[in-house]
Structure 1
């Protein structure tokens, strides 16, 4: 489970489209500045997805250094917003980010399995 940085003012920016997942934290921070037109040292979270949709990377500044969180799903893929222009982004809530990280469709969360009987 990923621990989110403290504070209610933290925003979660999802970079639309696909990103070269060979990039590390410095390369992603440069994308935040150059393409998303945001400050990578603001304390906000910036999420990127690869072409195969099974890998995400989230970069953020924790006040002491640049951090990189990554997750690869063994099955399925991460649901990503579709935006027409390059540099487009969507802002999520922390609850939506939690669903996204678990591989659940954050746009319309739905329980996919429920036991029929107890025990």
Structure 2
């Protein structure tokens, strides 16, 4: 997947939202519900009541982008419904968008650099 690097912040709204909302309506939810800046460079992820739909908004420098996807088969794996938001890594976001279980994607372990050869 061509997409965000490891340095991007990804915030997932854990409560389902009204999927009739467009980019501006979702940006208002980011400000009001998530207490975040929708133009700050993070990716904000939203779910519908039906678990097979997802929307993302992010600021691309010249405009607010809206990405929407509906799975033809299966469901997206979502965190437990509650108030607030959770953070994902770029790799976890990639897995979520593919319909995979993003909870199985973990950060790589830091490899120690050898001090000497052999």
* Coarse TM-score class (shorter-chain normalised): 0.7 to 0.9
Write the deviation string for residues 80-104 of structure 1: whole angstroms up to 9, x where unpaired: 11153x2x11100000000000000
- Secondary structure, in 3 states, of the residue corresponding to 1:17? coil
1-structure distance, mates of 2:27, 2:64: 9
> Equivalent of 1:17, from 15, 18, 36?
15
Structure 2 gaps, min length 5: 106-118
Match of 1:79 among 77, 80, 86: 77
Cα pair 2:58 2:66 within 8 Å, conserved: yes
RMSD: 1.5
Indicate the structure (1 or 2) with the bigger Cα radius of gyration: 2
The whole-number CA distance in structure 2 between the counterparts of 1:49 and 1:83 is 10
Q: Distance in 1 between matches of 2:93 and 2:15?
A: 17
Instruction: Report the number of matched residues.
Output: 105
TM-score by length of 1: 0.82
What TM-score does the superposition give when structure 2 sets the normalisation length?
A: 0.83
